[in-house]
Structure 1
Amino acid sequence: MHRRQSILSHRPKTSSDVDDDTYTSAAPPPHTMKRTISQTFPTHYQHDVKDTNMLDAVNEATMHADGLSQHSQASSFSRAFGAVAGSFTRQKTRRRMSSVSSATPAQRRRGSIHSLFESLPSSSASQKSTMDQQRMPLQHQDSGIPTFQLQPQSTSSKAFAPFKRLSSMRRRPTASGPSTDITKGLFTPAVSYPSQSVPGAAARQAAAAANQDRQNQLRREQEHTHRFLNGLITTSMRDDDIKDNESGVDMTCASPIVRADSVTEKKMIDPFQRLPAELATTVLSNLDAASLVRAERVSRSWNEHASSPHVWRNVFLRKHEPEVHVSPAPIQMGGLGTGKMAGGNPAPAQDWKQMFRARSTIDGRWKTGTPAAIYLNGHTDSVYCCQFDENKAITGSRDRTIRVWDLKTYKCIRVYGGPNHRPTANTPPPMEERPERVISHASLNGTKVGNEIYTVPADYHDASILCLQYDSEIMVTGSSDYTCIVWDITGDEYVPMYRLRGHEAGVLDVCLDDKYIISCSKDAMIKVWDRKTGNCVRTLKGHRGPVNAVQLRGNFLVSASGDGVAKLWNLETGVSIKDFPSEDRGLAAVEFSDDAKYVLAGGNDHVVYKFDASTGELVHSRVKHDGLVRSLFLDAFNGRIVSGSYDQSIQVSDYETGQTYAVYKNWTTSWILSAKSDYRRVVATSQDGRTLILDFGHNVPGSELLAGSK
């Protein structure tokens, strides 16, 4: 019986005096067979010459051991190399193999299997033909060389026959076998080598390259996560990119993340499924409204968090809640537009998203100049002054009466005047109205209802009502009779409390806070009154003409006079500290910004001036009318200047630039004497006896949610 020659006789001898990192080239062993083209490694393996050399070494050793034909052995090992390489190389690392052949010493000094790995060329080396290149030993992988990914040509059971034969040669079993995924045809050997092996330069270079790959991958993943959390995942995401799982919604990246060891699409973890609700709310609250709406469309999980009332409350208030810059806070004209209030703060349980949508629609109408017109009919002569809040408007007229209007029904609900000033029927007569008119109730004068709402108080003005201002407790009215009356308005009926006497001419304007009442007059004087006692605290002198307007901000007061100068006063000392002169003629109106940084003034030269309050320098004078600027109002928080003029127009301008973006001319039939605004409306009075309301929130869905508590 012919005895098969042991494969050990053909194993290369490892010389103990040869270093593992060196390889001595020698003549090929006597049993080396000539390679044919069928032994060439398949070209679809995307590796360098290292793979071909490794395959040659395995083919060579196995063919001598088994005595198989060239072509059958090459074909079998080519198909099964993915399974053989890992087991074979691990076995080689555990023991040194010595040859028992009678080869020459030069032949017996061939390097070990470790030197095969160490001597492999780097990826940057020039590629040689696999038929001409000298066979090189395999290289060590114990210093971080990336694992191989090879795809055999076949996964049939025949392909693993050589693997079974080689595994039978083991003297002791390995700790773990190779990891093989037959369904994908990918085999990645996980090889561990003795720690005493010293890696060579090629190994260190490969390890550095692998480490750089890992760092690059980590950076790509971090950059993608950063973009993901900053709202760059847009509504263009496909529906099939959003998939359900047992814990909610799992986001799949629109572009795949390529790992160093695979080319697969990596799924992102939805951060809002992991974060506490409070943190998710905080993150989303920092988005603007447009980004928040896009976030709602990302997935059901994102929609749940982004639609939260807590998120929209923060977004809404960040944009629309006014800031208080001075103490005491200035009197609020109209409404805040921030919804119901609770303890001085916006109430929590509100539809903040709908409120934001309503405010956005209203702001858009301001820009496009498309308000609805509402006419209040009842006064029989020029209406000089007005003030309003969310529920009512109060007007004073040359007809010597004060009227209170319900801003829900736009009807007159109370008239205060002397017994000799009761109006008669059909006053004023019907007048021309704009096509934008939506409400215009007929006057109640002379009717039963009109007589019922007319009230003769204990004290009243017997001359024109030229000015007024009120807060939640009192109202102050100034008249051509040289006096002011302070009214208690806390009840359903307005009750006169006391009269302020001291001016020597008609009182042209008044203002107040929780400490003082300020009045100015044609007598060129400004008087400061104690609110609680009604005593005159101080008289401010300095103007050389009638003082037409005053406004109060904390300890500072601004005034505008017919002498063409606006002045800034310190109320504690009574000293004028800054002058703001016009270019020509007198000033009829003045405004002080809420933060006390700017002063606006307008008058006979038809322009509106904006001055820097600290330096006195003119910022700009771009708002221009065709007549006297009789009225000014500054809504700094919403960035609007509203001016009324004798040219029968109301202009709305940008607070920062002064550019006018809306003009409403001839909406009344005579001069505009007063014009004030809030977030949704302008209330203006005219010489024709009517009050005009430009309502930008008329029929806007959700506008009722913006109104505060009564």
Structure 2
Amino acid sequence: MVYELMFSPNASEKKRLADKIDPESHVPTYITISPRKDGATAKTKCLNPQHNPLLKKRLFVSSTSILPMFRVRHGSFSRCRLPNSNSSTQTGCLEKAQRLVSLPFEILSSIIFYLDYISVQKLARSCKRMQTVCHDDSLWRKLLYADFQLPPLSKTAPSCTNLRLYQNHLRLGHRWLTGKVNTHFLQGHSDSIYCLEWIGQDMLVSGSKDKTLRVWDVSASRCVRTVAGEHQGSILCLMVNKERSLLLTGSSDATCVMWSLPDLVIVRTFRGHGDSVLSVCFVGGNRIVTASKDFSLRVWSQETGQELLQMAGHLNSVNAVEAIDEHRVVSVSGDATMRLWDVDTGECIRVMQGHDLGLACARYNGKHLYSGGLEGKIKVWDVETGECVNTLVGHAGMVRSLDCVDGRVVSGSYDRTVKVWDANTGVCLLSFQSGHSNWIYHVLSSGTRIVSSGQEKRIMVLDFGNGLTPLCPA
């Protein structure tokens, strides 16, 4: 066999190559989901696997001018049999291969660091020395961070654990491009499910029109707790703080309730809005902001429950509020505008306009703000300038919910589809259809899953990480 070694580019080179893909010419991979009769599982089918150019894009460049092609026989290098090559060329190839193998371990490891995964595995089969270098656990520690920005496992972990971890995340990334998922449903609510939030790696909480909260163990597909009787109306929104020690719920009873986690004991109730609380968020370490159907936002003290100030200016329901940093939030409204607010003073810093119809959702990923609404388009904004920098087109109904994680944007729509977008290019990668038979109200993502809910009484779980062990916590 002849092995060709390729250099893998660094992150900036990968981004440069990925940016060459024309979003308008890209056809997303369509995945149809067919629920089974048991109501708890589903089968999936990829309708157009050939239409994903990202899978065909070679994100590495040839390096045969630097590293030689070589062949293996009985565990050592033999003469390369290159087509149309004379004996002097073959001899030169063999000499280069021998010089490469004779390099110090540290230098070989540094060279291999720049190879793509397939080339490293081919190189490992060339001779025993290369196998030792290519399977060195410290090499894969570095590659885990370089390629996936993941922390390595402990140095006391078994040999080659980081290699297995790298392989699993490579497979996971491929699944995010091809839509290969294990699909199941969580059932238990008696009415529409408006909101979802992670409270642990495998633990999910949901809020419903049936006025209850349910806690789910997603890995076991079971409800572990139901909380009822605390809200007098539908539970419309949820938010967990960064430490996952507190949960906020907003309701059509015009209240916001703060709960302690994981025991779900009420800490305090915030009262003051004149209509439904549609969205909530934590700001800094000691304040929360609520958005309401009464056209206003209110800032509250987390410790005392006291209302600190009101922020008014929208001409319709304030459907979502999103924290930008410790001092600013963005609100989106049915009046088709977004407003950037200073929560210290209550001042509106900027009004952002660009949507033609009312807005339903917003999500900030630390770099850009994403917004969606009635017109079915997702717009991408630079918060600092108020400029719309991109528009993502693909949904045929209102975009009701957005989430951002690991360079991807996930959207759920009234067109009953869940879509996955590349946050850097705006390309739609995946479109899941048929899993929901009615409007989607909420989507939530992690590194390994997408969960979604809507008018149906069940939650759909798309599990990209099924069977991949170990994986870094998502």
| TM over 0.5, shorter chain | yes
Residue 404 to residue 228, structure 1, CA distance change in 2 (3 Å): same
Structure 1 residue 272, shift from structure 2 partner: 6.2
Instruction: Name which of 359, 380, 392 aligns with 1:610.
Output: 380
String of CA shifts for 1:659-695, please: whole Å, max 9, x gaps: 3232222312211000011222110011111101111
String of CA shifts for 1:566-604, please: whole Å, max 9, x gaps: 122233443322322133111001111223xx2211111
Q: Distance in 1 between matches of 2:92 and 2:374?
A: 77
Q: Distance in 2 between matches of 1:525 and 1:574?
A: 11
AA aligned opposite 1:520:
A
Matches within 5 A, 1:688-699: 688-699=456-467
Counterpart of 2:113 in structure 1 is 285
Q: SS in structure 1 opposite 2:415?
A: coil
Q: Distance in 2 between matches of 1:398 and 1:264?
A: 71
Tell me: higher relative CO, structure 1 or 2? Use CA pairs within 8 A at least 6 residues apart: 2
Counterpart of 1:600 in structure 2 is 370
Counterpart of 1:398 in structure 2 is 209
Structure number with the higher helix fraction is 1
Counterpart of 1:661 in structure 2 is 429
Counterpart of 1:56 in structure 2 is none
AA aligned opposite 1:658:
G
Structure 1 residue 696, shift from structure 2 partner: 2.0
Residue 290 to residue 570, structure 1, CA distance change in 2 (3 Å): farther
AA aligned opposite 2:184:
I
Structure 1 residue 467, shift from structure 2 partner: 0.6
Counterpart of 2:104 in structure 1 is 275
AA aligned opposite 1:705:
P
Q: Distance in 2 between matches of 1:548 and 1:396?
A: 16
Instruction: Name which of 647, 651, 654 aligns with 2:419.
Output: 651
Counterpart of 1:622 in structure 2 is 392
CA contact (8 A) 1:591 1:601 kept: yes
Q: Distance in 2 between matches of 1:688 and 1:315?
A: 43
Q: SS in structure 1 opposite 2:320?
A: strand
Matched, 1:352 2:162: yes
AA aligned opposite 1:544:
L
Residue 675 to residue 251, structure 1, CA distance change in 2 (3 Å): same
Q: Distance in 2 between matches of 1:372 and 1:631?
A: 22
Counterpart of 1:538 in structure 2 is 309
Counterpart of 2:18 in structure 1 is none
Q: SS in structure 2 opposite 1:319?
A: helix
CA contact (8 A) 2:78 2:94 kept: no
Q: Distance in 1 between matches of 2:103 and 2:219?
A: 48
Instruction: Name which of 258, 265, 287 aligns with 1:495.
Output: 265
String of CA shifts for 1:163-200, please: whole Å, max 9, x gaps: xxxxxxxxxxxxxxxxxxxxxxxxxxxxxxxxxxxxxx
Q: Distance in 2 between matches of 1:371 and 1:641?
A: 17
Q: Distance in 2 between matches of 1:656 and 1:558?
A: 21
String of CA shifts for 1:325-379, please: whole Å, max 9, x gaps: xxxxxxxxxxxxx686x7xxx9865722222222222222222233222110000
Matched, 1:568 2:340: yes
AA aligned opposite 1:546:
S
Residue 657 to residue 269, structure 1, CA distance change in 2 (3 Å): closer
Structure 1 residue 269, shift from structure 2 partner: 5.3
Q: CA-atom RMSD, angstroms?
A: 3.2
Instruction: Name which of 179, 184, 193 aligns with 1:383.
Output: 193
Structure 1 residue 267, shift from structure 2 partner: 6.5
% same residue: 30
Q: Distance in 2 between matches of 1:589 and 1:521?
A: 13
Q: Distance in 2 between matches of 1:688 and 1:264?
A: 65
Q: SS in structure 2 opposite 1:554?
A: coil
Matches within 5 A, 1:181-580: 230=66, 232-234=67-69, 237-240=70-73, 243=76, 266=95, 270=99, 274-275=103-104, 277=106, 280-321=108-149, 351-388=161-198, 389-418=200-229, 460-471=230-241, 472-490=244-262, 493-512=263-282, 515=285, 516-555=287-326, 556-580=328-352
Counterpart of 1:109 in structure 2 is none
Q: SS in structure 1 opposite 2:430?
A: strand
Q: Distance in 2 between matches of 1:339 and 1:519?
A: 39
Structure 1 residue 478, shift from structure 2 partner: 1.0
CA contact (8 A) 1:473 1:488 kept: yes
Residue 487 to residue 270, structure 1, CA distance change in 2 (3 Å): farther
Residue 567 to residue 293, structure 1, CA distance change in 2 (3 Å): farther
Q: Distance in 2 between matches of 1:264 and 1:475?
A: 64
Q: Distance in 2 between matches of 1:373 and 1:264?
A: 50
Q: SS in structure 2 opposite 1:233?
A: coil
Residue 409 to residue 268, structure 1, CA distance change in 2 (3 Å): closer
Query: How many residue pairs get matched?
Result: 403
Structure 1 residue 543, shift from structure 2 partner: 1.7
Residue 263 to residue 536, structure 1, CA distance change in 2 (3 Å): closer
CA contact (8 A) 2:400 2:412 kept: yes
AA aligned opposite 2:361:
A
CA contact (8 A) 1:623 1:658 kept: no
Q: SS in structure 2 opposite 1:624?
A: coil
Counterpart of 2:355 in structure 1 is 583
Q: Distance in 1 between matches of 2:93 and 2:445?
A: 60
AA aligned opposite 2:168:
A
Structure 1 residue 270, shift from structure 2 partner: 4.8
Residue 257 to residue 568, structure 1, CA distance change in 2 (3 Å): farther
Structure 1 residue 315, shift from structure 2 partner: 1.0
AA aligned opposite 1:585:
L
Structure 1 residue 623, shift from structure 2 partner: 2.4
Q: Distance in 1 between matches of 2:289 and 2:255?
A: 12
Q: Distance in 1 between matches of 2:184 and 2:267?
A: 33
Instruction: Name which of 448, 453, 466 aligns with 1:680.
Output: 448
Residue 339 to residue 560, structure 1, CA distance change in 2 (3 Å): farther
Length-normalised TM-score, structure 2: 0.76
Q: SS in structure 1 opposite 2:351?
A: strand
- Listed as ranges, the gaps of 5+ residues in structure 1 are 1-226, 244-249, 323-337, 419-459
